[in-house]
């Protein structure tokens, strides 16, 4: 099975954060905007399939909420996080690696396909709590991130947004 199989089978849309995505909002339980610190009440959680193809990178971003990355198929994926205090961490998600990782709210995150793999894609299942909304998505701006994390300039440059 290749990337095209999953794109068609899961009806993934193209080019969201340099990958393919299909979001689901199955949860009807709402939580208050006062609790989520958002503009409106939200579903308790949302889910999505995300497929990243080589040579693209998932650029630095953060969201208002917790995000679980769960490996599904394809190449191993290097998932990087950068804490508000500047601690950088890499978790490898894959068949014989970690199967999932929780990114805490407010942490910067990005990903790339592990270079040791022959496969050209990685399929991930995302679980967001509270539910994802585009207003919560913050793209990492190079100048701001370098000011906040001067010891990670090369890392920030590699994973910056290429708009």
pTM: 0.91
Cα angle 64-67-69, degrees, rounded to a multiple of 5: 155
pLDDT tens string for the chain (163 positions)?
899 999 999 999 866 778 999 987 656 777 776 666 667 777 888 899 999 999 899 999 999 889 999 999 999 999 999 999 999 999 999 999 999 999 999 999 999 999 888 899 999 999 998 888 777 889 999 999 999 999 999 999 999 988 6
Where do the domains of the chain lie? 3-158
What is the end-to-end Cα distance of the chain in Å, rounded? Answer: 31
- 50: β partners: 21, 124
List all residues 6 or more positions away from 34 whose beta carbon is below 8 Å from its beta carbon.
Answer: none
CATH: 1.20.120.1770, 2.60.120.10, 2.60.40.720, 2.140.10.30. Which one for 3-158? 2.60.120.10
CA distance 57 to 42: 29
Place of tokens 């995150």: 109
Q: How far apart are CA 78 and CA 30, in angstroms?
A: 33
Q: How many CB atoms lie within 10 A of CB 19?
A: 23
């Amino acid at each position: 099975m290749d990337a095209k199989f999953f794109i068609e089978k899961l009806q993934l849309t193209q080019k969201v954060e340099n990958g393919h995505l299909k979001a689901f909002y199955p949860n009807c339980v709402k939580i208050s905007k006062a609790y989520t610190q958002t503009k409106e009440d939200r579903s308790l959680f949302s889910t999505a399939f995300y497929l990243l193809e080589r040579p693209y990178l998932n650029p630095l971003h953060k969201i208002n909420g917790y995000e679980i990355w769960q490996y599904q198929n394809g190449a191993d994926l290097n998932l990087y996080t950068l804490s508000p205090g500047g601690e950088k961490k890499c978790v490898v998600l894959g068949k014989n690696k970690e199967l999932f990782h929780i990114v805490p709210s407010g942490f910067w995150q990005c990903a790339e396909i592990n270079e040791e793999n022959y496969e050209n894609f990685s399929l991930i299942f995302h679980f967001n709590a509270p539910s994802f909304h585009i207003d919560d998505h913050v793209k990492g701006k190079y100048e701001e991130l370098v000011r906040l994390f001067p010891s990670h300039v090369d890392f920030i440059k590699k994973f910056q947004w290429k708009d």
